Chain A
Amino acid sequence: MIATKHAERPDVSAFRRQPAQVMKLDRMGTAHPTRLSFLRVLLRRMTRERWTFDRSVWQVDAKGVGRAVYRATGPERTYSLVAFAHDLPDYLRSDRVIATAWDATFALFDGTPDAADLDRLAATVPLQEAGRVSSKELTLSRANRSVRLFGHVVDCLSAGLQPDLAEIEAVGYLMRTTAVYGSGKFGAADRTVIKDRHELSGPFFAEMLTVWLIRTFTVDLVEHMACVKGSRQAVLLDQGLRLRLGVGNSTGLGMAPFVVRHPRLFNNWVWAREEALARVRAQEQASHKAVAGLRLALTAAVENARIWRSDHFVQVAKLSDLRNDLTKIEMALERFPQGDRPWNALWLWAEATLTLEGQEALVALMLEPHGDLIDDLAETMSADEATLFAVNGSVKVADFRADLAARYAWALGRDYSDPDDTARFWYVSEEKLEPRIGDRRIDEGAEREQPLGIAQLAADLARDLTLWPGDEALASFLLVHPEHRLMARRVQQSALFPYAEIQDNLLAANILPIDILRSKLAFFGASHFDPRSDKWLRISLFKGEPFPQDLNGLQASWA
């Protein structure tokens, strides 16, 4: 259990935010990346361990079609991004999972691939879901160009000019991934293969490594195309502009069911962040170094908010809140630190003064200068979901009922008979098995609903439990009521994992699935959230972060 790992530290639970405050959709939908986000942790680890990187294969023709291999070598192992670049007609370019062709396709190979591996991968990786990779591959992914920025950068570089800063800021990436599959999908290695490898032990680290190497590929490809077009006139991309490029990502509903289906894993992510905030708040004093770090982080956040673009009305309002709140934080920091426990005072001021956007932005700012205090928490963010899977049926029904009432009070006390309470239903479409959300009053398929309406499931369980003798074992109840087994398991797990449940009704008429997506993606380290509908989110990953060659100490051999 996570709490015991840090038993030597002082108890800061008095400063920890409670699940009832944190696990609400409106707050989750204002999450910001922090220094505990996975891509940040991965980059710190690779830097600390002096990983080295090279591009061992570059066979790309004048049309931009071919293959490349990027190797990342840590203290114990090498991982290779195998990239295939394609000549995709514009009419086939789609970010939806129902697409069948992409500008580039990728696999993360476990080791260094030989020629036979590359030929095998060339036959299957471009097919994505329609192909099969093997347990030698850790991830499978694909990306599409930002037609607007990719073309602009090629045109400029080929003419010997640097691209327009405003254009780069407006888009922020040359390519966006439309899926990054790991954990045994389509024949790839199971999570169990890498879970004991120190370097990839964090959540989604193989996926993050994949995307980071893809970022380098996108810059190499755009420079290659510029060289082909402009020949000797062409120039390389300016280092400062390069840094401003991330990898875009288009995310649909698939991430939302993931969060609900992995309550224990999600708990560990949230718990780590909340414990980190509590540790910062609990400090008696604020050191000069930490205060200076906070001010630096604020400056970066203000700049980030300045260039963050979205046309979606929900995000436009949030960006306005964020910019206003950052101004208030700037003013508040003029008198910071003051008194005892100044970090806690700052936080309490924020809770009383700022919008949710500002508060969650401040979480990230307060964590930023406290690496020594909180970075160990990154090690607690994985979960072995195979253990504790069993239901303990020996528990008395009366005790179980009390646990349910105590931990799911947020869900009980209503019968969900108002049509608005169950207006939506989550399902998986037959076409490419894409998760979707439907309107129960209009759409067909509600009888094949996925079990994401946890609030209603909890209420249904409570209702049927009231009719059962309290001194009987839960096992006897479940024998007669197998329909409650899923929820009974969640109730028992929640004893150890207080941040496991989103404490809102995911079937409600007014739910915004993008709130769940943003929360999850912030843990990845995503920034520049840009909703394209209430269930479709564009983001940027690794924007502003170093490139492999930067970690190499600018090895001359790269080019």
Chain B
Amino acid sequence: MSDAAELLTLSQNETESLCMKAARGVGFSWGLAEEAGFAAGWLAARNFDAITPLVALLTPKMVNAITRGAPKPMPAHWRTLDGNPLCPIQLGAALIDHAELSDGPFRQETQIDPVERPILLLPFFARAAEILRRSVTVVWAEGGVQIMPDGVFKNFDAMTWASTQPVALRILTSECSDSHAGLTGSTILAQIPVSTLRAIDALALRTTVPGSNSSRSGAGSSVKNDD
């Protein structure tokens, strides 16, 4: 069986940790890398393969400026700063940072310029709904998804969002109580292709330092340790 066809399941913790390292590996700041790890882990715990789109997002960042696709927040319309499609990690973090501001993106209907790998934004919208205690609805050309303050959403709606093309979005919020559907019960962890694991591993390894004799000798016991 080829790597591409073979699937395996990572724990949520493994997904978070690996994706954080990979994001750092291509040059994100540690704080934004944490956001990438959080987002990927959140999706993985809801049976979405977040690693495949993250690899697709991160790989070009090895040669492009890490700030490519940074957002420019404006009331009612968040634009791209440099003309490139928005980066969902930078955008997601900024959306949350601005969530509680009076002219923030969730206080009015807000247009968002096309976003790369938009599925990676879903965890950020869920967090916004939780912070604001309002439901957040995200609409795009072919569909939409509503996320409740307790993080519940219809998986099917979000599935259609797993686009490989940049997608322009519109955000609306509304008063609502929790869905009461809850997210209790067993988590279904996403399966990912082994080839995807190898790709994210390669990016994550860019945070590590190749072994040297001096580092090896300093890491362990300085005295006999097998007594």
Supposing A95-B225, A483-B29, A532-B223 touch, asked if A394 and B100 sit within 8 A by C-beta, the answer is yes
Q: Mark A252-291, 1 if CB is under 8 A from B, else 0.
A: 1100000000000000000000000000000000000000
Partner of A187, one of B11, B45, B70, B218: B11
Cβ-defined contact, A429 with B219, below 8 A: yes
Residues A480-500 near B (CB distance < 8 A): 482-489
Kindly identify, within residues 183 to 227 of chain B, every residue whose CB is under 8 Å from any CB belonging to chain A: 187, 189, 205-212, 214-216, 218-223, 225-227
Contact among B214, B221, B222 for A442, CB-based, below 8 A: B214
- Of B31, B35, B98, which is in contact with the most chain A CB atoms at under 10 Å from its CB? B31
Cβ–Cβ contact B205 & A430, under 8 A? yes
- Is the CB of A323 closer than 8 A to any CB of chain B? no
**Which residue on chain A has the smallest CB distance to residue B187?**
A192
**A402: Cβ under 8 A from any B Cβ:** no
Interface residue A319 (Cβ < 8 Å from any Cβ of B): no
- Do residues A393 and B96 form an inter-chain contact, with CB atoms below 8 A? yes
CB proximity to B under 8 Å, residues A118-139: 132, 135
B218 touches A190 (CB 8 A): no
Nearest A residue to B222 via CB reads A533
The answer, among A442, A445, A485, for a CB contact under 8 Å with B31, is A485
A186–B18 Cα distance when bound, in Å, is 12
A390-B131, A430-B211, A486-B31 given; A183·B13 CB < 8 A: yes
Is A15 in the interface zone, CB < 8 Å from B?
A: no
Q: Are B227 and A146 in contact (CB under 8 A)?
A: yes
Interface size class of A (residues with CB under 8 A): 35 or more
- Chain A residues, CB < 8 A from B29: 482-486
B208–A93 CB distance below 8 A: no
Is there an interface contact between A135 and B215, defined as CB atoms closer than 8 Å?
no
Q: What is the chain A residue whose CB lies nearest that of B127?
A: A390
Q: Is the CB of B14 within 8 A of A187?
A: yes
- Quick one: which of B11, B207, B227 contacts A135, CB cutoff 8 A? B11
Q: Are B9 and A187 in contact (CB under 8 A)?
A: yes
CA distance A444 to B216 in the complex (A): 13
Contact check, B212 vs A444: say whether CB atoms are below 8 A apart: yes
**Contacting residue for B97 out of A135, A443, A478, A487, CB 8 A:** A478
Q: Which of A4-12, A330-338, A433-441, A503-511 contacts B (4 or more CB under 8 A)?
A: A433-441
Residues of B within 8 A of A (CB): 8-14, 28-32, 34-35, 38, 45, 70-71, 73, 90, 93-94, 96-101, 104, 127, 131, 187, 189, 205-212, 214-216, 218-223, 225-227
A–B pairs, 30, beta carbons within 8 Å:
A135-B9, A144-B226, A185-B13, A187-B11, A190-B187, A250-B221, A253-B219, A390-B99, A393-B96, A429-B211, A429-B219, A430-B209, A436-B209, A436-B215, A438-B215, A444-B209, A445-B209, A473-B97, A475-B98, A479-B70, A479-B94, A482-B32, A483-B29, A486-B29, A486-B31, A487-B31, A532-B223, A533-B220, A533-B223, A536-B222
